[in-house]
Structure 1
Amino acid sequence: MQRRKFLQNTIATSVGASVLPTGAFAFSNLGKAKKYPYQLKYAPHIGMFKNLAGENVLDQLNFMADQGFTAFEDNEMRKRPVAEQEAMAKVMQDRGMEMGVFVAHTIYWKEPNLTSGKKEYRDEFLKEIEASVEVAKRINAKWTTVVPGFVDLHLEHGYQTANVVESLKQAAAILEPHGITMVLEPLNFRDHPGLFLKKSAQAFEICKAVGSPSCKILFDIYHQQITEGNLIPNIEASWDEIAYFQMGDNPGRKEPTTGEINYKNIFKYIHGRRFNGILGMEHGNSQSGKEGELAVIKAYQEVDNF
């Protein structure tokens, strides 16, 4: 993914070089513009504005803050060097940005793990949850993403659900003392065929069974448009268990206004419910280069205008 390319090119030679600001940010006049007063906490990711901000991760964070974004997310944060995590956390703290989600564990895309109930998979998962607590504390994160993995075709669905719930209960016991919440992300069947967790109602049921403030739903609007549609009613029905949103338009998984989803109405509804959490911009840019990055900013200003 784009947000990892920078690390591949720089971390091997010098962690220090990758976390020091360049001083003269390559923002052109845009970086000096008045911050846009977004009504919700939209969270870009590394690489989304690399043409306008430059390759340096700290410059990119500063650029996001300059545009008025008050949050940031990074799926791969736990794989970054500690020095870089700490440097990014300092920039976010200095600029008043909240850290969104990062992925807490190894996701099994093609074989069952948590659904199987096997001890070795559960132990691996819990060990990674423990390690992610340290990452979360380092970067001041309150949320971390969990995907229960692939279905187990050898087990009835009910047994798989029970196995997942038990693993999540044990993970919640690790997270609760630290005030960290794992958010379960249902993923669509088209992009990720064969995964266990697919729908918002299923995630709602599992969260109720786990019964912990450290186990909630990540409602990804892009995925649920594909899987079930009926977006606002489903958000309303599962509202009590939703702690985090992500989005991308459909088709294409690009910024809002490029597809069929009426994001202005959805964001108006979420804002009307006084949601104070983060909405992750987990999508690509519909256009390349600086023009495409400006288009992303313009799109969010448009759909936030309600």
Structure 2
Amino acid sequence: MSNNKKKINFNHSFIFFFLINIFCILSFKFSNLKISSILCLLLILIIGVSHGSLDHIKGKKILDKLKIQSTYIFYIIYVLISVMVIVTWMLLPSMTLILFLIVASYHFGKEDTDFLINDKSYLNHLLYFFKGILIILAPLYFNFQETIEIFKLLLIDNEVFYSSLSFIETNRVIQIGIICSTLSSIYLFLKNFEIKKFVIFLDYFSILILNYYLSPLLAFTVYFCFLHSIRHSISLAFELDTYSITNGFKLFVKKALPLTILTAVLCFIALYMLSNSYNLDSAILKIIFIGLASLTFPHILLEYFLEKNEK
């Protein structure tokens, strides 16, 4: 069954790589065609957020292990962590952003690669971080100023932070980070070699192509929704039905729908409130990135405790 999962993920990466090449070329050819930020938000809410909408089922496994019957405890803790992240971002935006980028790098690297790797060593976890950091560094390399403008919209207004970015730009830190990401991908590919691990390079070049042709927001949206989230959804579908991926997906959609809808409703309420103080694009950027941060931290903590529980 593990081989079937690898095969499906390989086919998914190949199709994604093929389609984004066509999409990026068309976007470049018709450069006057603009994709609105509201469409990016809708895609993230519909496809991106849904891959974490089964966290309540995973949380129940941990509660059962701890012999806690009330599922409300899980929801209360999960929401409190999310709210705490948002409050911390308001108070210490620079520190919270940096921490989020570090955690997100590890999360993206691990979730996009872990299904290929049997070894759970500490070295591999470090390699996952360096592999995933490409998602953060690629927009800075290809669209530095535009990415900085996004940081500014995320309440980052700190001289130390911007002087650090200037240091990063002038001392080729971004290039060095991309080289480290490249080397980690090569190592993960060659260690215990099998042809299906070529997925690593398909994903690597897909991320570079997306950020070369597209704006940072659109590149991230396409990656997050159609590569990262769908891959994670495939894993969840296998967990729900190991014998039929089609039925597994049907079960996944049914179980993910309630929390996905709830998250979308809360996001649009927040968007309405923010639109009173900011223009629509600025409000959407805040919703996307601060909102994702508030969901990412409890999601990753849950995955961590679940893995510990399984061990």
- The bucket for the TM-score relative to the shorter chain is under 0.3
More strand by share: 1
TM-score (norm 1): 0.22
